[in-house]
Amino acid sequence: MAEIGILGRRERAGTFSALGVRPYYAETARQAQEAFERMMKEECAVIFVDAEWQEALQAQALRCRDRVLPAVLFLPGSGVAAEDALQEAVQIGRASCRERV
């Protein structure tokens, strides 16, 4: 099955491993850029990126815009509504990955 990854700080990204989403951790912009490259090499089909890293990863994400995979999605800020929206997006992403393999 194609993999779904989430890039963010440990306290946020780690909570989604229970949903079958592989967490990639970053505490600095440089770590976020390196983790994003690992996600690309490991062929994640869907890459969720915490809004905190949007500016740092904009150039790398633009390289993906004309490709079918990966789908790169920048998450909204924090809070209950953002977490609910992310969980819904993860479920949709998982269903999409199953259809493609």
Residue-wise pLDDT for 55-90, tens only, equals 999 999 988 888 888 999 888 776 666 667 667 766
d(CA 19, CA 27): 22
What predicted TM-score, i.e. pTM, was given to this entire model?
0.76
Instruction: Please report the pLDDT score of residue 26 as a whole number.
Output: 97
Name the phi and psi angles at 68, rounded to 5.
-70, -45
Name the phi and psi angles at 6, rounded to 5.
-130, 135
Q: Where are the beta strands (DSSP E) in the chain?
A: 3-8, 22-25, 44-49, 71-74
pLDDT confidence bin for 7, thresholds 50/70/90: very high
Closest by Cα among 33, 34, 40, 94 to 69: 40
Name the phi and psi angles at 26, rounded to 5.
-150, 140
Residue-wise pLDDT for 17-59, tens only, equals 888 899 999 999 999 999 999 999 998 999 999 989 999 999 9
